Amino acid sequence: MKVRLTRNLFFILGLDIIIVGLAFYFGHLIRFDFNIPSWALDNFLSLVVYCTLIKIICFFIFDLYRGMWRYTGLNDLMNVGKASIVSSVCVILFVLYTTGFHGVPRSVFIIDWCLTLILVIGLRVAARIYFEQVGLNRNLTSLTTAIFSVFRKKKKPGTLILIIGAGNCGEKLIREIYNNMSVKYNVCGFLDDDPKKIGRKIHGIPVLGEISLLDQLIDSTGAKEVIMAIPSAPPQRMREIVNACKKIGIRHKTVPNMGELINGKVTVNSIRNVEYRDLLRRKPVILDKEKIGGYLGNKTVLVTGGGGSIGQGLCRQICRYSPQKLVIVEIAESPLYEIDLQLKKEFKTVEIVPVLADIRDKEELCKIFKNSQPEIIFHAAAYKHVPMLEAHPWKAIDNNIMGTKNIVEVTDEFNCEKFVFVSTDKAVNPTNIMGTSKRIA
Protein backbone atom coordinates (compact mmCIF):
# COMPACT_ATOMS: atom_id res chain seq x y z
CA MET A 1 0.00 0.00 0.00
CA LYS A 2 1.69 3.15 -1.26
CA VAL A 3 0.49 6.62 -0.26
CA ARG A 4 2.01 9.75 -1.77
CA LEU A 5 3.17 12.28 0.80
CA THR A 6 1.65 15.58 -0.27
CA ARG A 7 0.50 18.77 1.41
CA ASN A 8 -3.13 17.72 0.94
CA LEU A 9 -2.45 14.39 2.65
CA PHE A 10 -0.99 16.08 5.73
CA PHE A 11 -3.93 18.52 5.78
CA ILE A 12 -6.49 15.69 5.62
CA LEU A 13 -4.53 13.65 8.14
CA GLY A 14 -4.49 16.60 10.54
CA LEU A 15 -8.26 17.05 10.22
CA ASP A 16 -8.87 13.34 10.89
CA ILE A 17 -6.61 13.39 13.96
CA ILE A 18 -8.59 16.33 15.34
CA ILE A 19 -11.91 14.62 14.53
CA VAL A 20 -10.89 11.30 16.12
CA GLY A 21 -9.62 13.05 19.24
CA LEU A 22 -12.79 15.16 19.53
CA ALA A 23 -14.99 12.09 19.04
CA PHE A 24 -13.25 10.31 21.92
CA TYR A 25 -13.52 13.44 24.09
CA PHE A 26 -17.20 14.01 23.32
CA GLY A 27 -17.81 10.33 24.01
CA HIS A 28 -16.67 10.96 27.59
CA LEU A 29 -18.52 14.27 27.72
CA ILE A 30 -21.86 12.74 26.70
CA ARG A 31 -21.36 9.69 28.93
CA PHE A 32 -20.89 11.89 32.02
CA ASP A 33 -23.63 14.40 31.15
CA PHE A 34 -21.08 17.10 30.19
CA ASN A 35 -19.39 16.96 33.61
CA ILE A 36 -16.39 14.65 33.35
CA PRO A 37 -14.96 13.60 36.77
CA SER A 38 -11.28 14.15 37.32
CA TRP A 39 -10.48 10.41 37.38
CA ALA A 40 -12.27 9.89 34.04
CA LEU A 41 -10.48 12.89 32.55
CA ASP A 42 -7.13 11.41 33.63
CA ASN A 43 -8.03 8.13 31.93
CA PHE A 44 -9.07 10.01 28.79
CA LEU A 45 -5.75 11.88 28.64
CA SER A 46 -3.78 8.66 29.07
CA LEU A 47 -5.69 6.84 26.32
CA VAL A 48 -6.51 9.50 23.70
CA VAL A 49 -3.10 9.38 21.97
CA TYR A 50 -3.13 5.59 21.65
CA CYS A 51 -6.76 5.48 20.49
CA THR A 52 -6.13 8.19 17.89
CA LEU A 53 -3.04 6.41 16.60
CA ILE A 54 -4.89 3.09 16.29
CA LYS A 55 -7.75 4.68 14.36
CA ILE A 56 -5.47 6.58 11.97
CA ILE A 57 -3.54 3.37 11.21
CA CYS A 58 -6.84 1.62 10.45
CA PHE A 59 -7.83 4.52 8.19
CA PHE A 60 -4.60 4.03 6.27
CA ILE A 61 -5.22 0.29 5.95
CA PHE A 62 -8.69 0.91 4.50
CA ASP A 63 -7.34 3.41 1.90
CA LEU A 64 -9.09 6.46 3.31
CA TYR A 65 -6.16 8.63 2.23
CA ARG A 66 -5.86 7.45 -1.37
CA GLY A 67 -9.22 8.68 -2.65
CA MET A 68 -9.99 12.15 -3.98
CA TRP A 69 -12.51 13.94 -1.77
CA ARG A 70 -14.10 15.81 -4.65
CA TYR A 71 -15.20 12.40 -6.03
CA THR A 72 -16.32 10.87 -2.74
CA GLY A 73 -18.84 8.14 -3.51
CA LEU A 74 -20.66 5.23 -1.91
CA ASN A 75 -17.56 3.02 -2.03
CA ASP A 76 -15.55 5.62 -0.10
CA LEU A 77 -18.28 5.91 2.55
CA MET A 78 -18.38 2.11 2.87
CA ASN A 79 -14.63 2.15 3.49
CA VAL A 80 -15.11 4.78 6.20
CA GLY A 81 -17.73 2.55 7.84
CA LYS A 82 -15.46 -0.50 7.75
CA ALA A 83 -12.49 1.48 9.04
CA SER A 84 -14.57 2.93 11.91
CA ILE A 85 -15.83 -0.50 13.01
CA VAL A 86 -12.41 -2.18 12.83
CA SER A 87 -10.65 0.73 14.54
CA SER A 88 -13.22 0.82 17.38
CA VAL A 89 -12.81 -2.93 17.89
CA CYS A 90 -9.00 -2.49 17.99
CA VAL A 91 -9.34 0.37 20.51
CA ILE A 92 -11.61 -1.75 22.75
CA LEU A 93 -9.13 -4.67 22.64
CA PHE A 94 -6.25 -2.31 23.42
CA VAL A 95 -8.06 -0.78 26.41
CA LEU A 96 -9.13 -4.25 27.60
CA TYR A 97 -5.53 -5.46 27.41
CA THR A 98 -3.97 -2.42 29.11
CA THR A 99 -6.56 -1.49 31.75
CA GLY A 100 -9.10 -4.30 31.84
CA PHE A 101 -11.71 -1.50 31.56
CA HIS A 102 -10.78 -0.38 35.04
CA GLY A 103 -12.11 3.17 35.38
CA VAL A 104 -13.16 3.32 31.70
CA PRO A 105 -16.94 3.23 31.00
CA ARG A 106 -17.79 0.80 28.18
CA SER A 107 -20.52 3.07 26.76
CA VAL A 108 -17.85 5.64 25.86
CA PHE A 109 -16.66 3.41 23.02
CA ILE A 110 -20.12 3.06 21.51
CA ILE A 111 -20.62 6.84 21.56
CA ASP A 112 -17.08 7.33 20.25
CA TRP A 113 -17.72 4.97 17.32
CA CYS A 114 -20.95 6.77 16.36
CA LEU A 115 -19.32 10.20 16.52
CA THR A 116 -16.25 9.06 14.58
CA LEU A 117 -18.42 7.62 11.81
CA ILE A 118 -20.63 10.72 11.59
CA LEU A 119 -17.79 13.24 11.68
CA VAL A 120 -15.45 11.45 9.25
CA ILE A 121 -18.24 10.85 6.73
CA GLY A 122 -19.56 14.39 7.26
CA LEU A 123 -16.17 15.90 6.52
CA ARG A 124 -15.81 14.00 3.23
CA VAL A 125 -19.37 14.74 2.11
CA ALA A 126 -18.89 18.43 2.95
CA ALA A 127 -15.71 18.46 0.83
CA ARG A 128 -17.54 16.94 -2.14
CA ILE A 129 -20.37 19.46 -1.76
CA TYR A 130 -17.82 22.26 -1.75
CA PHE A 131 -16.10 21.08 -4.94
CA GLU A 132 -19.42 20.45 -6.72
CA GLN A 133 -20.74 23.89 -5.79
CA VAL A 134 -17.49 25.56 -6.83
CA GLY A 135 -17.90 23.81 -10.18
CA LEU A 136 -21.39 25.33 -10.53
CA ASN A 137 -20.56 28.73 -9.05
CA ARG A 138 -17.03 30.10 -9.38
CA ASN A 139 -17.82 32.86 -6.88
CA LEU A 140 -18.00 30.49 -3.91
CA THR A 141 -15.04 31.05 -1.61
CA SER A 142 -15.74 28.95 1.47
CA LEU A 143 -17.00 25.53 2.51
CA THR A 144 -19.79 27.12 4.58
CA THR A 145 -21.08 29.10 1.59
CA ALA A 146 -21.00 25.96 -0.55
CA ILE A 147 -22.98 23.92 1.99
CA PHE A 148 -25.64 26.62 2.35
CA SER A 149 -25.87 26.85 -1.45
CA VAL A 150 -27.12 23.25 -1.51
CA PHE A 151 -30.43 24.47 -0.07
CA ARG A 152 -30.90 26.71 -3.09
CA LYS A 153 -31.94 25.23 -6.41
CA LYS A 154 -28.87 24.03 -8.27
CA LYS A 155 -28.57 25.85 -11.60
CA LYS A 156 -25.93 25.73 -14.25
CA PRO A 157 -25.54 28.07 -17.21
CA GLY A 158 -26.25 26.46 -20.54
CA THR A 159 -28.95 25.12 -22.84
CA LEU A 160 -32.14 24.05 -21.06
CA ILE A 161 -32.80 20.39 -21.90
CA LEU A 162 -35.14 17.48 -21.24
CA ILE A 163 -33.74 13.96 -20.84
CA ILE A 164 -35.79 11.08 -22.24
CA GLY A 165 -35.17 8.03 -20.07
CA ALA A 166 -35.02 8.04 -16.26
CA GLY A 167 -32.95 4.88 -15.98
CA ASN A 168 -29.28 4.12 -15.30
CA CYS A 169 -28.14 5.90 -18.46
CA GLY A 170 -30.15 9.02 -17.59
CA GLU A 171 -28.74 9.05 -14.06
CA LYS A 172 -25.15 8.80 -15.34
CA LEU A 173 -25.85 11.48 -17.91
CA ILE A 174 -27.11 14.03 -15.39
CA ARG A 175 -24.14 13.37 -13.11
CA GLU A 176 -21.79 13.93 -16.04
CA ILE A 177 -23.60 17.15 -16.99
CA TYR A 178 -23.30 18.65 -13.51
CA ASN A 179 -19.76 17.44 -12.84
CA ASN A 180 -18.30 18.41 -16.22
CA MET A 181 -18.22 22.17 -16.69
CA SER A 182 -17.37 21.80 -20.38
CA VAL A 183 -20.85 20.32 -20.98
CA LYS A 184 -23.09 23.39 -21.33
CA TYR A 185 -26.47 21.93 -20.40
CA ASN A 186 -29.00 22.64 -17.66
CA VAL A 187 -31.51 19.83 -17.09
CA CYS A 188 -35.11 20.80 -16.32
CA GLY A 189 -36.63 17.34 -16.16
CA PHE A 190 -36.89 13.70 -17.24
CA LEU A 191 -39.48 11.92 -19.38
CA ASP A 192 -40.16 8.20 -18.93
CA ASP A 193 -42.98 5.79 -19.77
CA ASP A 194 -42.63 3.90 -16.46
CA PRO A 195 -45.57 5.12 -14.28
CA LYS A 196 -43.63 4.21 -11.11
CA LYS A 197 -40.98 6.82 -11.91
CA ILE A 198 -43.29 9.72 -12.75
CA GLY A 199 -43.32 12.35 -9.98
CA ARG A 200 -40.07 11.10 -8.45
CA LYS A 201 -36.67 12.79 -8.65
CA ILE A 202 -33.16 11.82 -9.75
CA HIS A 203 -30.45 14.00 -8.21
CA GLY A 204 -33.12 16.61 -7.50
CA ILE A 205 -34.45 16.66 -11.09
CA PRO A 206 -38.12 15.56 -11.42
CA VAL A 207 -39.53 12.93 -13.76
CA LEU A 208 -42.21 15.12 -15.35
CA GLY A 209 -44.29 12.63 -17.30
CA GLU A 210 -44.55 10.15 -20.14
CA ILE A 211 -42.70 10.58 -23.43
CA SER A 212 -46.01 11.07 -25.25
CA LEU A 213 -46.33 14.42 -23.41
CA LEU A 214 -43.12 15.72 -24.99
CA ASP A 215 -44.69 18.64 -26.86
CA GLN A 216 -46.63 19.84 -23.78
CA LEU A 217 -43.60 19.57 -21.48
CA ILE A 218 -41.38 21.46 -23.92
CA ASP A 219 -43.88 24.33 -23.87
CA SER A 220 -44.21 24.33 -20.07
CA THR A 221 -40.48 24.00 -19.29
CA GLY A 222 -39.07 26.09 -22.13
CA ALA A 223 -36.57 23.35 -23.03
CA LYS A 224 -34.49 24.01 -26.13
CA GLU A 225 -33.14 20.51 -26.69
CA VAL A 226 -33.94 16.85 -26.02
CA ILE A 227 -31.36 14.16 -25.19
CA MET A 228 -32.37 10.50 -25.51
CA ALA A 229 -30.78 8.39 -22.77
CA ILE A 230 -32.42 5.09 -23.74
CA PRO A 231 -29.68 3.00 -25.40
CA SER A 232 -31.72 -0.21 -24.93
CA ALA A 233 -34.85 1.11 -26.67
CA PRO A 234 -36.01 -0.89 -29.73
CA PRO A 235 -35.54 0.78 -33.15
CA GLN A 236 -39.27 1.34 -33.65
CA ARG A 237 -39.49 3.32 -30.40
CA MET A 238 -36.41 5.38 -31.32
CA ARG A 239 -37.98 6.27 -34.68
CA GLU A 240 -41.22 7.32 -32.96
CA ILE A 241 -39.34 9.66 -30.58
CA VAL A 242 -37.19 11.10 -33.38
CA ASN A 243 -40.30 11.74 -35.51
CA ALA A 244 -42.01 13.42 -32.53
CA CYS A 245 -38.98 15.71 -32.06
CA LYS A 246 -38.91 16.57 -35.76
CA LYS A 247 -42.64 17.33 -35.74
CA ILE A 248 -42.21 19.70 -32.79
CA GLY A 249 -39.09 21.19 -34.35
CA ILE A 250 -36.78 20.74 -31.36
CA ARG A 251 -33.13 19.72 -31.51
CA HIS A 252 -32.59 16.12 -30.44
CA LYS A 253 -29.47 14.11 -29.62
CA THR A 254 -28.70 10.70 -28.17
CA VAL A 255 -26.26 9.07 -25.76
CA PRO A 256 -23.82 6.49 -27.19
CA ASN A 257 -24.70 2.86 -26.52
CA MET A 258 -22.56 0.60 -24.36
CA GLY A 259 -20.92 -1.01 -27.40
CA GLU A 260 -19.48 2.35 -28.44
CA LEU A 261 -18.27 3.03 -24.90
CA ILE A 262 -16.56 -0.36 -24.55
CA ASN A 263 -14.84 -0.05 -27.93
CA GLY A 264 -13.38 3.28 -26.81
CA LYS A 265 -14.92 5.25 -29.67
CA VAL A 266 -16.57 7.79 -27.38
CA THR A 267 -16.82 8.81 -23.74
CA VAL A 268 -19.93 9.09 -21.59
CA ASN A 269 -20.15 12.82 -22.20
CA SER A 270 -19.96 12.46 -26.01
CA ILE A 271 -23.59 13.29 -26.67
CA ARG A 272 -24.17 13.28 -30.43
CA ASN A 273 -26.81 13.71 -33.09
CA VAL A 274 -29.12 10.79 -33.84
CA GLU A 275 -27.75 8.62 -36.66
CA TYR A 276 -29.19 5.87 -38.84
CA ARG A 277 -27.55 3.17 -36.71
CA ASP A 278 -29.59 4.39 -33.70
CA LEU A 279 -32.81 3.87 -35.65
CA LEU A 280 -31.77 0.48 -37.07
CA ARG A 281 -30.36 -0.95 -33.81
CA ARG A 282 -28.91 -4.01 -35.50
CA LYS A 283 -27.26 -6.62 -33.34
CA PRO A 284 -23.51 -5.94 -33.09
CA VAL A 285 -21.16 -8.19 -35.02
CA ILE A 286 -18.98 -10.13 -32.59
CA LEU A 287 -15.45 -10.37 -33.95
CA ASP A 288 -13.23 -13.38 -33.38
CA LYS A 289 -10.33 -11.39 -31.98
CA GLU A 290 -8.08 -14.43 -31.56
CA LYS A 291 -8.50 -15.41 -35.21
CA ILE A 292 -7.96 -11.83 -36.42
CA GLY A 293 -4.90 -11.51 -34.19
CA GLY A 294 -3.41 -14.61 -35.78
CA TYR A 295 -4.21 -13.22 -39.23
CA LEU A 296 -2.59 -9.80 -38.69
CA GLY A 297 -0.31 -10.24 -35.66
CA ASN A 298 3.42 -9.83 -36.33
CA LYS A 299 2.77 -9.34 -40.06
CA THR A 300 3.71 -6.52 -42.41
CA VAL A 301 0.46 -4.94 -43.57
CA LEU A 302 0.10 -2.43 -46.39
CA VAL A 303 -2.97 -0.15 -46.70
CA THR A 304 -3.58 1.93 -49.81
CA GLY A 305 -5.62 5.11 -49.37
CA GLY A 306 -4.75 5.12 -45.67
CA GLY A 307 -5.41 8.84 -45.36
CA GLY A 308 -9.05 8.62 -46.42
CA SER A 309 -12.02 8.20 -44.08
CA ILE A 310 -12.23 4.44 -44.67
CA GLY A 311 -8.46 4.02 -44.75
CA GLN A 312 -7.88 5.85 -41.46
CA GLY A 313 -10.46 3.73 -39.64
CA LEU A 314 -8.98 0.61 -41.19
CA CYS A 315 -5.45 1.54 -40.07
CA ARG A 316 -6.61 2.05 -36.47
CA GLN A 317 -8.39 -1.29 -36.43
CA ILE A 318 -5.35 -3.10 -37.88
CA CYS A 319 -3.01 -1.56 -35.30
CA ARG A 320 -5.17 -2.97 -32.48
CA TYR A 321 -4.08 -6.47 -33.54
CA SER A 322 -0.35 -5.72 -33.22
CA PRO A 323 1.11 -6.09 -36.71
CA GLN A 324 4.89 -5.86 -36.93
CA LYS A 325 4.72 -3.06 -39.49
CA LEU A 326 1.98 -0.96 -41.08
CA VAL A 327 2.80 0.66 -44.43
CA ILE A 328 0.37 3.45 -45.34
CA VAL A 329 0.26 4.44 -49.02
CA GLU A 330 -1.53 7.74 -49.69
CA ILE A 331 -1.41 10.34 -52.48
CA ALA A 332 -2.61 13.27 -50.32
CA GLU A 333 0.13 14.68 -48.08
CA SER A 334 -1.90 16.29 -45.28
CA PRO A 335 -4.14 13.29 -44.45
CA LEU A 336 -1.09 11.00 -44.57
CA TYR A 337 0.79 13.26 -42.17
CA GLU A 338 -2.17 13.39 -39.76
CA ILE A 339 -2.81 9.63 -39.62
CA ASP A 340 0.94 9.00 -39.27
CA LEU A 341 1.14 11.27 -36.20
CA GLN A 342 -2.03 9.82 -34.66
CA LEU A 343 -1.01 6.18 -35.06
CA LYS A 344 2.54 6.72 -33.80
CA LYS A 345 1.17 8.41 -30.71
CA GLU A 346 -1.55 5.81 -30.04
CA PHE A 347 0.24 2.57 -31.06
CA LYS A 348 3.87 2.90 -30.02
CA THR A 349 4.68 -0.81 -30.43
CA VAL A 350 3.73 -0.87 -34.12
CA GLU A 351 6.19 0.36 -36.75
CA ILE A 352 4.30 2.90 -38.88
CA VAL A 353 5.73 3.64 -42.35
CA PRO A 354 3.98 6.47 -44.25
CA VAL A 355 4.56 6.47 -48.02
CA LEU A 356 3.52 9.39 -50.22
CA ALA A 357 2.72 7.64 -53.50
CA ASP A 358 0.19 7.22 -56.32
CA ILE A 359 -1.27 3.76 -57.06
CA ARG A 360 -1.49 4.74 -60.75
CA ASP A 361 2.32 4.62 -60.88
CA LYS A 362 3.12 0.90 -61.13
CA GLU A 363 6.91 1.38 -61.02
CA GLU A 364 6.58 3.29 -57.78
CA LEU A 365 4.38 0.53 -56.35
CA CYS A 366 7.04 -2.05 -57.22
CA LYS A 367 9.67 -0.07 -55.31
CA ILE A 368 7.37 0.21 -52.26
CA PHE A 369 6.69 -3.55 -52.25
CA LYS A 370 10.38 -4.34 -52.73
CA ASN A 371 11.40 -2.15 -49.78
CA SER A 372 8.64 -3.13 -47.35
CA GLN A 373 7.87 -6.75 -48.39
CA PRO A 374 4.21 -6.62 -47.26
CA GLU A 375 2.35 -9.85 -46.51
CA ILE A 376 -1.23 -8.56 -46.22
CA ILE A 377 -2.67 -5.90 -48.57
CA PHE A 378 -5.78 -3.81 -47.86
CA HIS A 379 -6.73 -1.79 -50.94
CA ALA A 380 -8.87 1.21 -49.92
CA ALA A 381 -7.52 3.87 -52.32
CA ALA A 382 -10.28 5.13 -54.64
CA TYR A 383 -12.20 8.16 -55.79
CA LYS A 384 -15.65 7.91 -54.20
CA HIS A 385 -17.66 11.13 -54.63
CA VAL A 386 -20.43 10.47 -57.16
CA PRO A 387 -21.04 14.06 -58.43
CA MET A 388 -17.32 14.73 -58.86
CA LEU A 389 -16.76 11.55 -60.88
CA GLU A 390 -19.83 12.21 -63.00
CA ALA A 391 -18.07 15.42 -64.04
CA HIS A 392 -14.68 13.67 -64.50
CA PRO A 393 -15.44 10.08 -65.63
CA TRP A 394 -11.97 9.37 -67.02
CA LYS A 395 -10.49 10.00 -63.55
CA ALA A 396 -12.70 7.24 -62.16
CA ILE A 397 -11.39 4.85 -64.83
CA ASP A 398 -7.78 5.93 -64.32
CA ASN A 399 -7.78 5.69 -60.52
CA ASN A 400 -10.46 3.19 -59.53
CA ILE A 401 -9.93 0.70 -62.35
CA MET A 402 -6.33 1.08 -63.54
CA GLY A 403 -5.04 1.86 -60.04
CA THR A 404 -6.67 -1.29 -58.70
CA LYS A 405 -5.24 -3.29 -61.62
CA ASN A 406 -1.74 -2.01 -60.74
CA ILE A 407 -1.98 -2.90 -57.07
CA VAL A 408 -3.38 -6.39 -57.85
CA GLU A 409 -0.63 -7.14 -60.35
CA VAL A 410 2.14 -5.97 -58.00
CA THR A 411 0.60 -7.98 -55.14
CA ASP A 412 0.64 -11.07 -57.36
CA GLU A 413 4.19 -10.37 -58.56
CA PHE A 414 5.55 -10.23 -54.99
CA ASN A 415 3.56 -13.32 -53.87
CA CYS A 416 1.79 -11.59 -50.98
CA GLU A 417 -0.30 -13.82 -48.70
CA LYS A 418 -3.64 -12.00 -48.91
CA PHE A 419 -5.26 -9.16 -50.82
CA VAL A 420 -8.42 -7.48 -49.49
CA PHE A 421 -10.37 -5.12 -51.74
CA VAL A 422 -12.06 -2.75 -49.29
CA SER A 423 -13.59 0.03 -51.38
CA THR A 424 -16.56 -1.64 -53.11
CA ASP A 425 -19.37 0.80 -52.26
CA LYS A 426 -22.10 1.29 -54.92
CA ALA A 427 -20.64 -1.60 -56.97
CA VAL A 428 -23.85 -3.65 -56.78
CA ASN A 429 -26.20 -2.77 -59.64
CA PRO A 430 -24.36 0.52 -60.33
CA THR A 431 -26.25 3.52 -61.68
CA ASN A 432 -23.33 5.96 -61.98
CA ILE A 433 -19.74 6.09 -63.17
CA MET A 434 -18.34 5.76 -59.67
CA GLY A 435 -20.27 2.54 -58.96
CA THR A 436 -19.48 1.18 -62.40
CA SER A 437 -15.74 1.77 -61.93
CA LYS A 438 -15.90 -0.11 -58.62
CA ARG A 439 -17.86 -2.93 -60.27
CA ILE A 440 -15.21 -3.31 -62.97
CA ALA A 441 -12.43 -3.21 -60.37
Mean pLDDT split into 10-residue runs, the chain, 441 residues: 66 89 91 88 88 91 76 80 92 87 84 92 82 55 50 62 87 77 81 89 88 89 88 81 89 70 46 59 60 81 91 90 93 93 92 94 94 93 88 91 94 93 78 88 88
Dihedral in degrees, nearest 10, Cα atoms 110, 23, 46, 81: 60
Task: Pick the closest to residue 63 from 84, 81, 80 (CA basis).
Answer: 80
Q: Please enumerate in sequence order all residues whose Cβ is within 8 A of that of 418, keeping only pairs 6 or more positions apart, or say none.
A: 295, 375, 376, 377
Rounded to 5 degrees, φ, ψ at 68 are -100, 120
Tallying the residues shown for the chain, one arrives at: 441
Query: Residue 335's pLDDT is what?
Result: 92
Classify residue 126 as exposed, middle or buried by CB count within 10 Å of its CB (0-12, 13-18, 19+): middle
CA distance 119 to 22: 10
C-beta of residue 187 within 8 angstroms of C-beta of residue 205: yes
CA distance 306 to 167: 41
Classify residue 261 as exposed, middle or buried by CB count within 10 Å of its CB (0-12, 13-18, 19+): middle
Region for 264 from its dihedrals, namely left if φ exceeds 0, alpha if ψ lies in -120 to 50, beta otherwise: left
Query: Residue 236's pLDDT is what?
Result: 83
Query: Residue 173's pLDDT is what?
Result: 81
Query: Residue 422's pLDDT is what?
Result: 84
Query: Residue 285's pLDDT is what?
Result: 59
Classify residue 419 as exposed, middle or buried by CB count within 10 Å of its CB (0-12, 13-18, 19+): middle
